[in-house]
Amino acid sequence: MAKHEEIKSKNQEELSQKENDPEKGGDEDSIIPEELLEQIPKEERGKVVSIIRQTMFSGIMGRRNPIADKISGEHITKMIDESAKDSEREYKEKKNQRWFVFGVILIGTALLIFLTLYLAKDNETTFMNILIPILAFLGGMGAGYGISKKPSVCQ
């Protein structure tokens, strides 16, 4: 094990010397400023430089998405147009949903008024038997709506 460490240390020193020597092809000065290089221990300089070179190389040769290479300006324009159309559809859908809810509330209110005016006078027990479930349903609907709008604690 000690022999392996000795060989590894020797190789790192040779690599460090090679990289520090401009005649041997080292261009370390362009990668790391001299004042930073002096602060790094000599036995670690080779590792640091090789890591920086690998990082720089992987940044240059980063993997690209093949689909992204084929996207042109026309595609982007089409995507923007489709997004605008989708926004318009969503707006219309919300508008129609609001009109539907308004209609349901209007019909429900008219039914409640009708029941109150015509059944309350003659058949009070029948009116109460119909009114109690309707009010319970509306209360449950309102409570469910309120709970759905309240942020959940368990998220």
* 90-127 pLDDT per residue, tens: 999 999 999 998 998 899 888 888 878 887 778 888 88
The answer on pLDDT for 8 being more than 80 is no
pTM exceeding the 0.75 threshold for the entire prediction:
no
Q: Tell me the domain boundaries of the chain.
A: 7-60, 83-149
pLDDT band at 39 (very low <50, low <70, confident <90, very high): confident
Write out the two tokens for 75. 């595609």
Q: Residue 2 carries which side chain, given as an amino acid letter? A: A
* 56-100 pLDDT per residue, tens: 766 655 566 677 777 778 888 888 889 889 999 999 999 999 999
